[in-house]
Structure 1
Amino acid sequence: MDAERASANRLINALIRERIDPHLPWATTPVTVTGRRVLATNADIWQHLLTNPVLTEEVREELRESAAGEGQGAELPTAPSTVEWVQEQRSTNPHFSPLAFFEQSVRSGHQLHPTSRIRHGMSVDEITAYAPEWAPTVELAIVAIKHTHLHDRGMTAALLREHPSQSQSALADIQALGEDAEQYGLLPVHPWQVRHRLSTQFRAELDAREIIITTHTIPTQPLLSTRTMRPLNGASHLKTAIGVRLTGAIRGVSPQAAANGIAVSSLLNTLNVDGLHILTEQASASFIDHTEANREFMLGAIARTNPERHHTDLTLPVAALRAESPITKKPLLNELETATFATDYAELVLPPLLTLVTKYGIALEAHAQNTLVTLKERKPDRITYRDFGAIRISPQRLANHGHVIELAPGSALTADNDDDLRNRLSYSLIQDHLGELLPALAAQTGQPEIELWRPFVETARATFARLRQCCSSCLRAADEDEAFFFAETAPLKAHLRARLAGATHQAQYIPVENPFHLVENGKASQPIASETERFVQEEHPELIANFRAQLPIARIITAQRVRDTCARENLVLDLSRWDRVQQEAENSAQNLALARANLHAQKPATANDISGENVQEERFSAQGHNLHPLSRARLGFSPGDNFAYPAEGAGSVELRLVAVHRDLLRHTPTPTGQNVSELVLEQLDLTSRVREAMNTQALDPNTFDVIPLHPWQCAHALPASYPAELAARTIVPLDVTIPAIPSASMRTLATEPGHNGQRLMIKTAIAAQVTTTIRNISPASTQNGPRLSRVMETIVEREPHLNGRVSALVEHAGVCFSETATPDLPGPQQRERNLSVIVREDLSRHVSPGDRVLTGCVFYAENPATGRPFLLNVVQQRAALAGLNLSKAGLALWDEYAGLLINTILTFLTRYGVGLEAHLQNSLVVVNQARITRLLLRDFAGVRIHHTRLTQAGIDFTPAPGSITFTDDMREVYRKTFHAAILANLAEVARTLSDVVSPTTLWERARSLVEETFVILAASERTSREGIAADRAAIFAPKLDHKAFLRMRLFEPSHPEFATYWPTPNPLVS
């Protein structure tokens, strides 16, 4: 999880700061002064980000590969202090190198590069054998190359001087082969390169003995870059060529780099800039290719001075200061003297770098890997720079001060212009180096980060003033450079943008906020805390840290859902349209963050019956509707409501009983004649309490019924919709409540078990916008639902292939407000909908001991006990019980679930014209021994029925007035059926199972299950052949109609862009 969190941080920053995805900036706010976002927790955000359509599949694979290597490394002993542990190791082990240890401690890689840990081309075993975090000993091969093929700039002499035994033995071996050793030079070569490049791409030279791989090696330790090695004997560091993609490029050593490093080192040592210390590149060698194969960069090496030879203080790369020490599990900064760190550090870093660029036109690449800090008495004492392969030089500025450098032909070190020069230093120093070090320092000291930048701003101003004073020829350069470094924006290197464009070497820069400018001109005000954040801070401070961590993740998920919906509905999301839904998107994100924070703090479920356990488990579907872009929008709810009422937050919700005069109610009773009031009072044994409450209110129990209302509805919609009735006391809230557990839908709640041991599922009206719909209940639903559910029971009983395998959860009774008594009042339709209730059976009648019930919307939710989706937990159990691998277990589960669902929807559709709304929230499965044994269907308010087909099947049903349930258009029935069951249900299950089974395999099986169902249906004379043909053509159409969630929200029905459905590729055929 830590690896994915770190990778998600890098990727989200690249997508936003490099301006690749325009939807994401809304989702997060900058945390550091340089504008970087920090996600404090991972959850499933990594997987969400990987689906971003701007990413190519190649880049996705690189991102996954990089994440897999994040944070890995050798196990080391723990100790209270890293510094003390290092000092002890150095005193007892003559071969121990503090520098190598600190370089190997940086296990998270480049902080601003999204593929910072990629080693593309290395196997897992090779990474363990060669990568610095595993602290291996790597034996560099000594390779002999004829002088005709080697440009030797002192490398052979350096090896003979510093590694005399191995080097002389290597030359002796050459002589023993009958070759003239005088004709050969020596080159250290990385063992990976020997195995994968030298032995294959240089076969001709090996066969001709122009290259000889000797049997002698130099034992070394890999440093931070992986390919630069520290010999165990403390000799010069050796930068080698390795044909592996590390971060964004193949890391060879070009002839130009081999030649230029020596020349640049000599120049920098000649300039004598105060405070400038470098690791001199003193020798090198590169291959001379006499073919056109362009292999020069594959064989080369550079020797640079070892900084530990010159002093005994601790020297380490700056990146190691903020990295978590493997010894203490805390950043090394935690052990330093931090009171004056920023001031001391600014004086060490800025004057030499700014002098070098302004006076001499040399921009070092001063990022945190190339910059070494020497600590003395736990304070920064000296800064040293290394690696000159990517610096920039202005020949004109250099010449102005009487210096010339001869660079190798084809070099990329010459700056194209002064901005190219400044960009190189600015990005590496401000964004990478200081931009990552100072936030880490702020975290350790508790100081505001912007205050830590102030000494750097002051030092930079003082340096430019000093340059003007002591260097008359620098006036113009100083003015222009100072203006650049204090401009409103600073350059950010666009690593991901370059990779997506196919470039690996050419730098691209994006302007971002400049911390130097912010310090002097005031940082932009921090965003005002939202109402939800203030609520959590004041009422539930124990959740505030997690809420703040979850909020950017929730915004990212919401933004990506909006983007995906736009793509599906063929919408170009311009800002004017986005503004129309942004309030709802922000509301959804705030509520999602609260839900996720709440879920993390959840206590174990308390129910001990199957029905109660099922409802309580639905809380884990906190992410909401799997396809709706605004899945957690609840306009009209306060933060307190969002905390108290949803499944993920509420332990229990108190439904309020309201007495309503019988003349104001329209009942749909049970087949035995019980209405909602009678059913609730009898089942929950509330008759005496309600009579007592009515007597207290002076109400006649013989003229009033009671209905259970959601507390939100009682507090908001009741006084708003029924003021006259409340005043006349024909509607009276009673002081009687029913404790109930909210389900995933929030407005349907399970009561405590009644006198017969069964719960009642009470579907209540909530006149608030949840997602994009007001969630009250139409009078037609209260009248049709109970009667339709009995029709569903009848259909199942008629069908032998469904009976015993499928059940409809019966809606016992319904009730709504009757507007006939007061027809002249405004808003009659809403008044009828706002006092509505449907009572449904729980699932206890349909289960047996040993069964477990999972609601479909929990399939893809993360089980906090395992960190994996609930459905994949069942797959693992099935594999263990049946002795199957995960793929076969997953496919078996798919066959059971998809088989039941497809059998059911096509039987209802083809034989009866019933289009079930079998989305995940309405579909429940009974699981026993990790096998799906039964499908339970619930909530029939959204079905569509072809009246002619139902009548022809011998079922007579007269719908309530105003119903939209019945239609004569089969297209409406197809839309309802296939959107819910295929696109909103099976497609999500397939996505979840794709971790263990190929989606292609799953959909091939689904097609077969459809065909098998049509064969079953065709075997009966009761099935119309024309109906089968039409339904088969519809379910196998190239595209299915998907609900157009955003088009319905963005446009009025009269607008030409409005649509309720939009065609999308059919997974059954595509």
Structure 2
Amino acid sequence: MSELTVCAFAPGTVHDAAAHAENHLAVLAPHLRDPFQAALPRAAAAVGRRLLGALWREDIADTRIRYERRGRPHAFDRVEFAAVPAADPVDLLPPSIVESRRWTLAAELANAVVNLAIAYARRDATPPPPTTGPDADAVTLERLAIDGHNLHPCGRTRIGWDVDDVLAHDLEAGTTRIGFVALRRAAHLGDDVGAALAAAGLDVPAAPPGYVVQPVHAWQRDAVLARRYPDLLRDGTLRILDGTVPAVPTAALRTLLLPRGGYLKLSLDIQVTSSRRSISVASTRNGPALSALLHRLLATEERVLLLAETAGAALPDSRDAGAILRAGLDGRLAPTERVVPGSALPAVAGELLREYGRGPLAFLTAYARLVLPPLLRLATRYGIALEAHLQNCLPTFTAGTPHRLVLRDLAGLRVHRPRLAAAGVPLELWPGSVIGTDDLDTMRAKLGYTALQAHLGELVIALGAHGLDEAAAWRAVREVVDTTYDELRADPATACAATADHAAFTAPRVPHKALVRMRLAGDGDVYLPVRNPLHAP
């Protein structure tokens, strides 16, 4: 049982969602019903804790007045609460929130609680990946971050899945299935991903004459494609194929570890946190081009390893059948190199510190020197801000020492087109790509929020349990930032951009991604200013 305190459940949103789940578990997995019921208070407390922290951080209604001095403050206006004063997280929402949006968010919060409770109930019975190697090790460690997103109160939402889908396809299922469809060549846009999988030894069905085989998530095939595209099915443009291939779900759910190595990212039209996890046509076409570009631009960064997106394809004008093939780690790490997904760092921080042996401040400093300089250099030199939150970063360690930074998933990055063009680097993005921007603040906000707030901010808090002083930690991070920009300012080609970027990242206030306000608004990113621990008056 967590340290968070909750009282017994009363009728309400979580109560109703939990009753629905219990009825399904009684039929589908009766052995999970009692563990699920036992886990509900803990799950509600975890969701409530993150919701209350977000309400405070985003200064929604009178939250700061009502809960003043009840939580522990951290950098970037983050406050962690040890007690949640409501059994149903929706009861934490201020009455002033517009009613329609309040209940939309309420449904998401209830969904998050129920799915987290199911995950708690299943965690000890999750089968290990059927393969071995660093990719399998990474998936195993990802499962330690069972609460999901480290800041989002809806980190375990699975809107669109019912209990049977969660049992079959969620992270704790251990395995899921890849299905296949056939698209007429004229209706297939991109690379032949199905042929690439077949060449890698997977049992891919043969393409009918005039068609291309496209891999799809088995749930997506049955629940979305088979129902949403009757006209394409009727005229033969789209054919549902028999047969599936097993794969291992990662924490990203739509990204699957393949049986023979590498990853496959597939459209999955369910809502996880703030987004439906389908894949745009642009992402399938930009991924290989961006991977080739980043491979060149990061060639001098000896401590960075990119998991390239090697192929992608989609159904034109649709987000429902996208597929992206991604390289894996097998054969690319030294025998002594251990990969730890960023999301698992808080869970294994104590173990890494014991191996490192030089104290938490020295460890954090070494880690910041690994993570920040290549990301800051890439943004200043070329205007490319990688989405370096915990889930996208897989640092490696040797005897506890931060060694290399593995980067994956390019869909969320931002490219400042004028800065990239000024560097003389050509890049043709797919028309309408959201990753391209002409606004420097947009590019900087992407990098600053993910790398500093969501990533290093979480590690600093985790290391606080092992004796790290937070003020000293952020002074050490500031020193890494200063040193990196001193080097960039010494180069006439980047001096001006470096000065401006340094000023932005060390300003008194920096943009924070307002996760609850985004859900209340219903669409698009929302940022709010928060106090910056890197500011030194």
TM-score over 0.5 for the alignment? yes
Question: Is 1:679 matched with 2:203?
Answer: no
- 2: CA distance, partners of 1:603 / 1:676: 28
Equivalent positions of 1:614-653 (< 5 A) are 614-647=138-171, 649-653=172-176
Question: Aligned partners of 1:646 and 1:843: how far apart in 2?
Answer: 23
For residues 215-253 of structure 1, the C-alpha deviation after alignment (integer angstroms, 9 at most, x for no partner) is xxxxxxxxxxxxxxxxxxxxxxxxxxxxxxxxxxxxxxx
Alpha-carbon distance in 2 for matches of 1:964, 1:595 = 33
Show CA shifts across 1:242-273 (max 9, x none). xxxxxxxxxxxxxxxxxxxxxxxxxxxxxxxx
The answer to whether structure 1 residue 659 and structure 2 residue 182 are counterparts is yes
Match of 2:205 among 675, 690, 695: 690
- 1:709 and 2:249 aligned: no
CA contact under 8 A between 1:856 and 1:924: conserved in structure 2?
yes
Tell me the distance in 1 between the aligned counterparts of 2:391 and 2:519.
Answer: 22
Q: Say whether the 8 Å CA contact 2:17–2:110 is kept in structure 1.
A: no
Residue 534 of structure 1: aligned partner? 23
- 2:128–2:174 CA contact under 8 A, matched in 1: no
Counterpart of 2:324, as a letter, is I
| Cα deviation digits, residues 841-896 of structure 1 (max 9, x gap) | 01225312232211101112xxxxxxxx21221112222xxxx4xxx1x2232122
Check 1:977–1:626 CA distance in 2 against 1; reply closer, same or farther (3 A cut): same
> One-letter code of the match for 2:48?
A
Alignment match of 1:556 (pick from 32, 45, 57): 45
Match of 2:440 in 1: 970
Q: Distance in 2 between matches of 1:616 and 1:606?
A: 11
Q: What is residue 777 of structure 1 aligned with on the other side?
A: 279
Match of 2:514 in 1: 1044
Match of 1:957 among 422, 427, 433: 427
User: Tell me, what secondary structure is at the counterpart of 2:402?
Assistant: strand
Q: 2:479 aligns with which of 968, 989, 1008?
A: 1008
Letter in 1 for 2:178: L
Relative to structure 1, the CA distance from residue 845 to residue 967 in structure 2 (aligned partners, 3 Å threshold; closer, same or farther) is farther
C-alpha change, 1:977 and 1:963, in structure 2 (3 Å) is same
Which of 325, 335, 354 in structure 2 is aligned with 1:876?
A: 354
The answer on whether the counterparts of 1:987 and 1:1067 sit within 8 Å (CA) in structure 2 is: no
1:763 aligned onto 2:265: yes
2:255 is equivalent to residue 748 of structure 1: yes
| One-letter amino acid matched to 2:297 | I
8 Å contact 2:285–2:312 — kept in the other structure?
yes
What is residue 106 of structure 2 aligned with on the other side? 582
CA displacement 1:347-397 (0-9 Å, x = unmatched): xxxxxxxxxxxxxxxxxxxxxxxxxxxxxxxxxxxxxxxxxxxxxxxxxxx
Secondary structure of the 1:551 match is helix
Give secondary structure in 1 for the equivalent of 2:507: coil
Structure 2 residue 341 is matched with structure 1 residue 855: yes
Q: Does 1:840 align with 2:326?
A: yes
- Measured at CA, do residues 962 and 845 of structure 1 come closer, stay the same or move farther in structure 2, by a change above 3 Å? farther
Change (3 A) 1:655 1:603: closer
Q: 1-side partners of 2:354 and 2:19: how far apart?
A: 42
Contact preservation (8 Å) 2:46, 2:147: no
2:205 is aligned with what amino acid? Answer: V
Displacement of 1:728 in angstroms is 2.4
Counterpart secondary structure, 1:992: helix
Question: Are 1:570 and 2:59 an aligned pair?
Answer: yes
Give the CA deviation at 1:1020.
Answer: 3.0
8 Å CA contact 1:1041, 1:1064 repeated in 2: yes
CA distance in 2, matches of 1:707, 1:592: 32
Which whole-Å CA distance do the structure 1 matches of 2:498 and 2:202 have between them?
50
Secondary structure of the residue aligned to 1:960 is: coil
Cα distance in 1 for partners of 2:447, 2:16 equals: 45
For 1:873 and 1:953, locate their aligned partners in 2 and report how far apart those are by CA, in whole Å: 42
User: Residues 708 and 788 of structure 1: is their aligned pair in 2 closer, same or farther, counting only changes over 3 Å?
Assistant: same
Amino acid at match of 2:143: R
Q: How far is the alpha carbon of 1:733 from its aligned partner?
A: 2.2
Match of 2:118 among 594, 616, 621: 594
Question: Secondary structure of the equivalent of 1:927?
Answer: strand
Contact persistence 1:607–1:613 (CA under 8 A): no
Deviation sequence 1:805-831 (CA, Å, 0-9, x none): 011110001101124xxxxxxxxxxxx
Q: TM-score, normalised by structure 1?
A: 0.45
SS at match of 1:625: coil
Cα separation, 2, equivalents of 1:930 and 1:990:
16
1:578-608 per-residue CA deviation (whole Å, 9 max, x = no partner) reads 4341111001100011111111333455432
2:242 is paired with a residue of what secondary structure? strand
- Residue 813 in 1 paired to residue 330 in 2? no
Between 739-748 and 652-661, report the one with greater CA deviation: 652-661
Which structure 2 residues correspond to residues 191-270 of structure 1 after superposition, within 5 A?
none
Q: Determine the C-alpha separation between the residues in 1 that align with 2:329 and 2:120.
A: 27
Distance 2:421 2:223 in 1: 43
Larger radius of gyration: 1
Asked if the contact 2:128–2:140 (Cα under 8 Å) also holds between the matched residues in 1, the reply is no
After TM superposition, give the deviation of residue 576 of structure 1 in Å: 5.8
What pairs with 1:430-579 in structure 2 (closer than 5 Å)?
Answer: 530-572=19-61, 573-575=93-95, 577=97, 578-579=102-103
Deviations 1:121-170 (A, max 9, x none): xxxxxxxxxxxxxxxxxxxxxxxxxxxxxxxxxxxxxxxxxxxxxxxxxx
The answer for the alignment partner of 1:1062 in structure 2 is 528
State the match for 1:301 in structure 2.
none
* Corresponding position of 1:442: none
Q: Give structure 1 stretches of 5+ with no counterpart.
A: 14-27, 32-525, 670-674, 754-758, 820-831, 861-868
Secondary structure, in 3 states, of the residue corresponding to 2:205?
helix
SS at match of 2:60: coil
Higher relative contact order (Cα pairs below 8 Å, separated by 6+ residues): 2
2:498 paired residue among 1013, 1028, 1032:
1028
Using the alignment, how far apart are the partners of 2:380 and 2:16 within structure 1? 56
Letter in 2 for 1:807: L
Q: Rate the CA distance shift 1:609–1:527 in 2: closer, same or farther, 3 A.
A: closer
Separation of aligned partners in 1, 2:390 and 2:514:
18
Distance 2:287 2:179 in 1: 23
Q: Percent identity?
A: 32
Q: Aligned partners of 2:57, 2:202: CA distance in 1, in Å? A: 51
Amino acid across the alignment from 1:748: T
In structure 2, what residue type is equivalent to 1:999? E
Does the 8 Å contact 1:1047/1:1059 carry over to 2? no
Q: 1:399 is matched with which residue?
A: none
Secondary structure at the residue paired with 1:566? helix
How many angstroms apart in 1 are the aligned matches of 2:534 and 2:20?
45
CA distance in 1, matches of 2:286, 2:376: 22
Which of residues 466, 470, 495 is equivalent to 1:999? 470
State the Cα distance separating 1:569 from its structure 2 match: 1.2
User: 1:968 & 1:744 partners in 2: Cα distance?
Assistant: 32
